């Protein structure tokens, strides 16, 4: 490719006498004369000391910059924000979590667009900045590569962040002492990296790799490893190669690529948040994707990974046996992946997997197709008189496939959490947490604190939780989120009362309250919409613009 084509955007910023002021500014940040003739590669870093997920990403950004420079580009580092779900969980601050996905995508788009970068590397390490990076890649449609910041190692006794949340419930139930709780708190997070199980970060890293937006094995490396630094370096060089080849995200993000991502999420027993995020990325890419696609693919793809939170193993243990590449090779051989999809290597998925070794014969983390954890998807899309536009359940098989119980209704997460800790939630209850949707929260908070408290009290087999909010990838139990329409817009979840009988049937894919149409109509006639969010700032903008959860909860 001719150099002027590789520099399609940066040449508009730095070429010619009229752009002498631009060059003057860039000299001050380290550009030499020769650099103006090179393609500019932005390095979008989500480094922050806000969270262990991202505390090391400055080092990865430096490695990516070096890779781009040594391949013939000119790197330019810039930062965007991140927030921590694990820290803000269970507080009003969690309302900003999903909002941050939009802010991060907007900010990467803004910097890359304003500065005229010809391509870029995007490095994400926590739940929302990862799909945000992919959304920005799709919107900008410039040669780009995603780098996952990597997983954390487990702590003492293989603990992780979910161990701490569940210890809170166990402490409330009197099952562990103050000293034992403090020990769990102090020994569960040993250093940098994203949460240790197949929670949202590791789920999205795997999905993004399956889509072809990251280099092979980027999803399966520890944050503190030399392999992760090499992956970052290679990503910088890969962007320069994509510029040479003229390959853009639109050449990679076809419908089949999203089907590959869904397949991997299911096989790995990944987070329900993947439904929300993959729909959002697809919208940014202009690819039609809906809840029905998860149902369709889920009928033929089994759950094969015995991974936390419902299973046994952590991501670092999957890394030790080869990561997700051997699993992808297995699924490809069975015709469950589209091998002809292009990836950021410049090769197809099948070409990338050609020489990948199989898993060790004695490993127990990934089941064979002949003996799956579950024969079909754990992500079950439910419809019924409680969710006419759909809800997302995480049914791994450990909880059973049907739950019938009595509603205990709470306006917001805090009230539900207090009731669980106080022992007011008992066997047979269906905890209903409403007015937590994208508009009603606003922000669609995650319910890891209530679900972990339920599990910590030993009620995970006996209590269900439904919400128009969402769940952390660390949640497990009989949990149903993303109930749409949400309560704030008058969805049927707003009409529930204490004592109503609720039936969740995962085999029939239904969620219903045992009330007549007439009773629901009478309640609707008496329902009054709550006042809209009246504060100013980002939450107000989000509440005004955000779409339904079934449509990805996007703002544009």
Residues noted as catalytic: 472
- 217 and 231 in contact (C-beta within 8 Å)? yes
**Residues in CB range of 394: below 8 A, 6 or more apart:** 271, 272, 310, 378, 379, 380, 471, 475, 476, 479
Tell me if residue 239 falls in helix, strand or coil: helix
Cα-based angle 308, 124, 223 (whole degrees, multiple of 5): 60
145: closest CA among 198, 195, 218, 244? 218
Helix axes 96-115, 538-545, angle to 10 degrees: 90
- 160 and 118 in contact (C-beta within 8 Å)? no
The dihedral through the CA atoms of 380, 449, 513, 549 has a sign that is negative
Rounded distance between C-alpha atoms, residue 212 and residue 350, angstroms? 11
Rounded distance between C-alpha atoms, residue 123 and residue 61, angstroms? 7
Rounded distance between C-alpha atoms, residue 50 and residue 82, angstroms? 7
Rounded distance between C-alpha atoms, residue 375 and residue 492, angstroms? 32
**Backbone φ and ψ of 310, nearest 5°:** -80, -30
For 369-407, give one letter per residue: b (16+ CB within 10 A) or e: eeebbbebbbbbbbbbbbbebbbbbbbbbebeeebebeb
Number of other CB atoms surrounding residue 120 within 10 Å: 30
CB-count exposure of residue 324 (10 Å: 0-12, 13-18, 19+): buried
Number of other CB atoms surrounding residue 320 within 10 Å: 15
**Backbone φ and ψ of 411, nearest 5°:** -90, 90
- 64 and 76 in contact (C-beta within 8 Å)? no
- 126 and 84 in contact (C-beta within 8 Å)? yes
């Amino acid at each position: 490719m001719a150099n002027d084509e590789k520099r399609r955007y940066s040449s508009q910023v730095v070429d010619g006498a009229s752009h002498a002021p631009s060059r003057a500014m860039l000299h001050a940040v380290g550009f030499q004369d020769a650099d103006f003739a090179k393609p500019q590669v932005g390095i979008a870093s989500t480094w922050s000391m806000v969270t262990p997920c991202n505390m090391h990403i400055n080092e990865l950004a430096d490695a990516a910059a070096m890779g781009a420079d040594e391949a013939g580009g000119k790197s330019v580092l810039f930062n965007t924000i991140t927030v921590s779900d694990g820290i803000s969980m269970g507080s009003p601050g969690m309302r900003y979590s999903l909002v941050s996905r939009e802010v991060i995508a907007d900010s990467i788009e803004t910097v890359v667009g304003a500065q005229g970068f010809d391509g870029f590397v995007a490095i994400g390490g926590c739940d929302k900045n990862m799909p945000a990076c992919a959304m920005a890649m799709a919107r900008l449609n410039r040669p780009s590569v995603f780098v996952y910041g990597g997983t954390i190692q487990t702590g003492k006794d293989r603990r992780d962040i979910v161990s701490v949340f569940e210890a809170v419930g166990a402490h409330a139930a009197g099952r562990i002492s103050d000293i034992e709780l403090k020990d769990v708190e102090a020994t569960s997070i040993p250093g940098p990296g994203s949460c240790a199980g197949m929670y949202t970060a590791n789920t999205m890293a795997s999905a993004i790799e399956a889509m072809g937006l990251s280099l092979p094995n980027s999803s399966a490396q520890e944050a503190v490893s030399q392999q992760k630094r090499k992956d970052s370096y290679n990503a910088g060089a890969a962007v320069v190669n994509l510029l040479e080849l003229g390959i853009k995200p639109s050449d990679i993000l076809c419908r089949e690529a999203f089907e590959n991502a869904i397949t991997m999420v299911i096989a790995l027993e990944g987070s329900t948040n993947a439904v929300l995020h993959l729909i959002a990325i697809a919208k940014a890419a202009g690819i039609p994707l809906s809840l029905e696609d998860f149902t369709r693919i889920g009928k033929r793809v089994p759950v094969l990974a015995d991974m936390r939170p419902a299973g046994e193993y952590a991501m670092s243990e999957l890394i030790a046996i080869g990561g997700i590449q051997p699993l992808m090779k297995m699924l490809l051989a069975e015709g469950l992946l589209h091998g002809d999809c292009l990836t950021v290597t410049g090769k197809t998925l099948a070409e990338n997997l050609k020489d990948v070794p199989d898993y060790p014969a004695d490993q127990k983390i990934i089941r064979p197709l002949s003996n799956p954890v579950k024969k079909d998807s754990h992500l079950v899309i439910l419809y019924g008189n409680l969710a006419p536009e759909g809800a997302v359940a995480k049914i791994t098989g450990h909880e059973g496939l049907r739950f019938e119980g009595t509603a205990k209704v709470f306006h917001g997460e805090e009230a539900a959490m207090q009731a669980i800790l106080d022992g007011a939630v008992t066997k047979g209850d269906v905890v209903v947490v409403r007015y937590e949707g994208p508009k009603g929260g606003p922000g669609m908070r995650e319910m890891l604190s209530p679900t972990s408290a339920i599990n910590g009290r030993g009620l995970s087999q006996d209590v269900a939780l439904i919400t128009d909010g969402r769940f952390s990838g660390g949640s497990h139990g009989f949990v149903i989120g993303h109930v749409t329409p949400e309560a704030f817009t008058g969805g049927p979840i707003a009409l529930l009362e204490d004592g109503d009988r609720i039936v969740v049937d995962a085999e029939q894919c239904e969620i219903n309250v045992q009330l007549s149409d007439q009773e629901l109509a009478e309640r609707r006639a008496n329902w009054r919409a709550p006042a809209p969010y009246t504060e100013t700032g980002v939450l107000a903008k989000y509440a005004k613009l955000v779409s339904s959860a079934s449509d990805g909860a996007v703002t544009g």
